[in-house]
Amino acid sequence: MPNVVKSPRAPLNVPVVDVFTFLFGKHLGAYSDKVATVDGLTGESLTFGQIKNNVLLLASGLSKLGVGKGDTVGLFAPNNIEYGIVLVALARLGAFRCLVFFCFVMAVGLTCDTLGRCTRDPRKPHVHR
């Protein structure tokens, strides 16, 4: 049986809300123009308001393609400033994320065809464009 280590600090109060509401809920107005993230390589930054708008636009577009609750979407992309937008947009739709790490794929030499077979859902062929 593993040892359990307890923090000497008080337990955290974790709100029971979805990630979109947690990040962009009722208090966003105070932070809308504040920088939320910075790309360490390029210096590009996004504010909370920009991220919220991009999440809503992407979620809308994915929804129009038929992506919805319970679907699995494969994400094969380098880790950049837009990566979190995709993750939150998929979470907003209730879709599952199948993260395929770019460096791993390059290291082991997986092909796009192999990746497609790993994530294919015959009910949603358009998800795999």
Is pTM beyond 0.75 here? Answer: no
Give percent above pLDDT 70 in the chain.
76
Does residue 24 belong to any structural domain of this protein? yes
- Please indicate whether residue 26 or residue 110 has the higher confidence score (pLDDT): 26
What pLDDT band is residue 102 in, cutting at 50, 70 and 90? low
pLDDT of amino acid 128? 41
The answer to whether residue 41 sits within a structural domain is: yes
Phi, psi (degrees; rounded to nearest 5) at 105: -60, -45
pLDDT of 126 above 50:
no
CA distance 79 to 102: 8
Instruction: Give the CATH number for residue 86.
Output: 3.40.50.980
The residue segments making up the domain with residue 49 are: 19-128
3-34 per-position pLDDT tens digit? 888 889 998 888 888 888 888 888 788 889 99
Residues 48-72 pLDDT 10s = 999 999 999 999 999 999 999 988 8
pLDDT tens per residue across span 68-85: 998 888 777 777 889 899
- Identify the pLDDT of residue 52: 95
Q: Quick one: angle between helices 83-93 and 48-64, nearest 10?
A: 50
pLDDT at 36 over 60: yes
* Residue 83 covered by a domain: yes
In a domain, 25, yes or no: yes
Domain count, the chain: 1
Q: Which two tokens stand for residue 129?
A: 């464009």
Query: Coil, strand, or helix at residue 23?
Result: helix
